[in-house]
Amino acid sequence: MTQREGEGAPVPGPTGVAVLGSTGSVGRQTLQVIEHHPDRFRVVALAAGANASLLREQVRRHRPDLVALGAPDPDWPAELGPIEVGTEALIAAATHPSAEIVVVASSGHAAILPTHRAIAAGKTIALANKETIVCAGELIVPFAAERGVSIRPVDSEHSAIWQSLGSTPLREVSRLILTASGGPFRSTPAAEMAAVTARDALAHPTWSMGGKITIDSALLMNKGLEVIEARWLFGVPDARIDVLIHPESIVHSLVEFVDGSQIAQLGLPDMRLPIQYALTFPERVAGPHEPLSLASIGALHFEVPDEARFPSLALARRAGNAGATYPTVLSAADEVAVDAFLAGRLRFVEIPEVVSRTLDAHRPEGPLDFDAIMAADVWARSEAAAAVATLNRGAV
């Protein structure tokens, strides 16, 4: 349902959707879901970071009202209409008058302010961006509740918890259990981890994702970030959020209730399923993804993560428990360290070391607000870059 200007009641028509990060992995799959349901959804705004060539193709296909790009594109075809550039353009996409649902699929800290503005404008948020809740969950989640705005999780793990919880009151919830594939190095001997290459780390066994999140998965950093997210999204303290390695990636997460029973959401590792549910909630409709056959899978396996081999998980819990701007520092330092690893300037096993050194050096200042988050982000990137340089000198 949509609402036309000047009219007080909704009228039948496709729901307007704005997609932030349309050229990334989740953004592309979001558009696939929308294409599968042309009678239900219409793309009203597309925003991308730097992939102008793919954005052009998306604009030709979906004809949105507004197009935003992170930087000017001198080759932008005039027949595609005007293009808006920069942070204000991202905010304009997130607050477009015809957008009823904003899919926040962009990566990084740049999505935090547009998400907040979208909530202020009363938009339903389909959230795939980790940093928004990791860094600003303490601000974003209460603000959304105050505005009566729904935040629908798109990450498969948080979508699974959302679906498994249903309308159950939190007093009946014992714990949340986030599952993790374990990445490509789940069974790699510790002695061999120092020789891991970027190519090795990017070869995820079950999911097809962007480079940053794939490396985070290999480190289990992504699961640590998801623990912080789950705390704010579902109001469950860190001590009642566990992580379980599940290499098949079929059980996407579980909720354990006070009577000892557990409810899980299962499905093939296909992001289009949680994306579609976030768009169609509370309805369930047929989609472009394949159904799950447990008989074909045959067996499901689970194990406790080895936090000694994967220290990023403990680092994330440390930052989440410390609160304030520590989660922002964790996220920013990790991004710098991952970039350095992919560029060949840091070893895989040194990524957690950079993050740890940056957290050790951090001293929060003043109350938590968006300015503090932005300042902590800038500081952490500089401090992490210095840590990378120090480790490089030590290796020479």
In the annotated binding site for Mn(2+), the residues are 155, 157, 226
In the annotated binding site for 1-deoxy-D-xylulose 5-phosphate, the residues are 130, 156-157, 181, 204, 217, 222-223, 226
In the annotated binding site for NADPH, the residues are 23-26, 49, 51, 129, 131, 210
Residue 63 backbone class (left: φ over 0; alpha: ψ -120 to 50; beta: rest): left
Query: Residue 391 CB: number of other CB atoms within 10 A?
Result: 18
CA distances from 241 to 95, 137, 233, 234 (A): 33, 16, 12, 10
Cβ neighbours for 228, distance < 8 A, ≥ 6 positions apart: 133, 134, 137, 238, 316, 319, 320, 327
* Tokens of residue 186, six digits: 């789940």
In the annotated binding site, the residues are 23-26, 49, 51, 129-131, 155-157, 181, 204, 210, 217, 222-223, 226
Structural contact between residues 131 and 232, judged by C-beta atoms closer than 8 angstroms: no
